[in-house]
A and B are shown apart, each in its own frame.
Chain A
Amino acid sequence: MVRIILTTLFFISIVLFPWWVTLIFACFLLISVDRPFELVVGGVGMDILYSGGGEGGIVWLATIIGILFFMLSRIIRSRLRLSS
């Protein structure tokens, strides 16, 4: 249930809210959801939607952050599990 709510808010924030709100929801997804692949999908969507393209091509900044968060979630969650 938490996953559905956070994922919905995350995708809504990509379209409706400033990028830093999206980042906050991404952080929530990172710590509360197992294997948050939504972050990568959202990152790609954000880049395709907003990135300028042109001479330098699309800047894949949000995608890279999404992948990093996805990898980070594995580490964070494994640490949390050990500590508990």
Chain B
Amino acid sequence: MTYLQKNSKNSRSYLRVVFITLLFLSGVFFLGDTLRSIVREGISFVAVPIWRGEQEVFNYLGGWWGILASKHTLLAENNELSKEIQDLRIRLLDRTILREENLLLKEALGRIDYEKKTLATVLANPSRSPYDTLILDAGKRDGVLLGDLVIAGDSVIIGSVSRVSQTTSVAVLFSAPQVVTDVIVGGDIRTQAYGRGGGNFEIRVPRDQEVSIGAPVIFPLLSPKVFGFIEEVYVSPADSFQTLLFQMPVNVFMLERVYLIPSSGVASELESYSEHLRSEE
């Protein structure tokens, strides 16, 4: 009978690699935040200039693409965009009036709606990692704090800051798996939205509560933020709950800039909002 000879030199070398890897991993796990933040700062030191350069290159190439595109396509696109702008202008006019009225009412009731916004550029969008996170170019030196809320545009809330370094921060999207957020559906149903990844959400509410497609999902704040609009409603005869599905109203994979607002007071506002709803009932 022939046996394969064991290569002891090879095994020893393999064990050495395993030992060094384990040592490295234990360092990362057990030495805690200090080592992790050093490693992170090190990686960011290399990655951030690359990401910034990448954005510059894309902006430059985007300009060249316009030259290469056919005139006919550009003309059609231009017409479509002009119509869209006109439509949005009208809606914005209505919205501005309502917002001013809202602010006046709040002031009259002694609640001043003050939001300190910090503009941040998205360095890496969720397609880079399977975690549904955004890497932003604003950090501690710009006044960003842990838990700050991430807003796209003026009123669409998309996530919260979960890690902050000196120059960058990581924001977890509310749509990340296992993230549960308190929301209000259709103005009066207080429930929780479960993240399903890639900007998708799922909500479960009792079947007897009426929810229509297009109903707004709101994140309760003093100035309520848009969370999404119900897109699908699934009702099963065997289930006492109905499932509501919806997406973020913005494409998180195409975001270039976001605003960060402080989260201080969110918990108390949620509490006061739910009390207000209870008193109305």
Identify the closest chain A residue to B39 (Cβ).
Answer: A48
Contact of A40 with B172 in the complex, beta carbons under 8 Å: no
Q: A61 at the A/B interface (Cβ < 8 Å)? A: yes
Contact of B43 with A49 in the complex, beta carbons under 8 Å: yes
Chain B, 100-135, contact with A by CB distance < 8 Å: what is the 0/1 string?
A: 000000000000000000000000100111111101
Identify the closest chain A residue to B35 (Cβ).
Answer: A48
**Residues of the B chain whose Cβ atoms lie less than 8 Å from the Cβ of A56:** 178
Q: In the complex, how many residues of chain B place their beta carbon closer than 8 angstroms to a beta carbon of chain A?
A: 37
Identify the closest chain B residue to A49 (Cβ).
Answer: B43
In chain A, residues 1-58, which have Cβ atoms closer than 8 Å to a Cβ of chain B? Answer: 15-19, 35, 37, 40-41, 44-46, 48-54, 56, 58
**Residues of the B chain whose Cβ atoms lie less than 8 Å from the Cβ of A59:** 131
In chain B, residues 20-41, which have Cβ atoms closer than 8 Å to a Cβ of chain A? Answer: 20-21, 24-25, 28, 36, 39-40
**Residues of the A chain whose Cβ atoms lie less than 8 Å from the Cβ of B130:** 19, 61-62
Identify the closest chain B residue to A71 (Cβ).
Answer: B18
Q: How far is it, in angstroms, between the C-alpha of A56 and the C-alpha of B14 when the chains are bound?
A: 34
Q: How far is it, in angstroms, between the C-alpha of A44 and the C-alpha of B39 when the chains are bound?
A: 10
Q: In the complex, how many residues of chain A place their beta carbon closer than 8 angstroms to a beta carbon of chain B?
A: 29
Q: How many residue pairs, one in A and one in B, have C-beta atoms under 8 Å apart?
A: 83
Q: How far is it, in angstroms, between the C-alpha of A59 and the C-alpha of B172 when the chains are bound?
A: 12
* In the complex with contacts A40-B25, A63-B25, A50-B163 CB distance below 8 A: no
Q: B81 at the A/B interface (Cβ < 8 Å)? A: no
Identify the closest chain A residue to B27 (Cβ).
Answer: A44
**Residues of the A chain whose Cβ atoms lie less than 8 Å from the Cβ of B92:** none
In chain B, residues 36-77, which have Cβ atoms closer than 8 Å to a Cβ of chain A? Answer: 36, 39-40, 43-44, 46-47, 50-51, 54
Name the contact of B128 in the complex, choosing from A18, A37, A48, A74 (C-beta under 8 A): A18
Name the contact of B162 in the complex, choosing from A40, A52, A70 (C-beta under 8 A): A52
Q: How far is it, in angstroms, between the C-alpha of A15 and the C-alpha of B46 when the chains are bound?
A: 9
Name the contact of A15 in the complex, choosing from B47, B160, B170 (C-beta under 8 A): B47
**Residues of the B chain whose Cβ atoms lie less than 8 Å from the Cβ of A46:** 129
**Residues of the A chain whose Cβ atoms lie less than 8 Å from the Cβ of B44:** 49
Contact of B39 with A45 in the complex, beta carbons under 8 Å: yes
Q: Could you tell me which A residues sit within 8 Å of B by CB distance?
A: 15-19, 35, 37, 40-41, 44-46, 48-54, 56, 58-59, 61-63, 67, 70, 74, 82
- Give the top 3 A-B pairs by smallest Cβ distance, nearest first: A50-B129, A54-B162, A52-B172
Please give 17 more A-B residue pairs, beta carbons under 8 A apart, in addition to A18-B128, A37-B17, A52-B176: A15-B46, A15-B50, A15-B51, A16-B54, A44-B28, A48-B39, A48-B43, A50-B129, A50-B131, A50-B133, A50-B135, A50-B170, A52-B132, A52-B170, A54-B146, A62-B129, A70-B21
Q: Could you tell me which B residues sit within 8 Å of A by CB distance?
A: 4, 13-14, 17, 20-21, 24-25, 28, 36, 39-40, 43-44, 46-47, 50-51, 54, 124, 127-133, 135, 146, 160, 162-163, 170-172, 176, 178
Can you name 8 A-B pairs with beta carbons within 8 Å? A17-B128, A44-B24, A48-B28, A49-B43, A51-B170, A52-B162, A53-B170, A67-B25
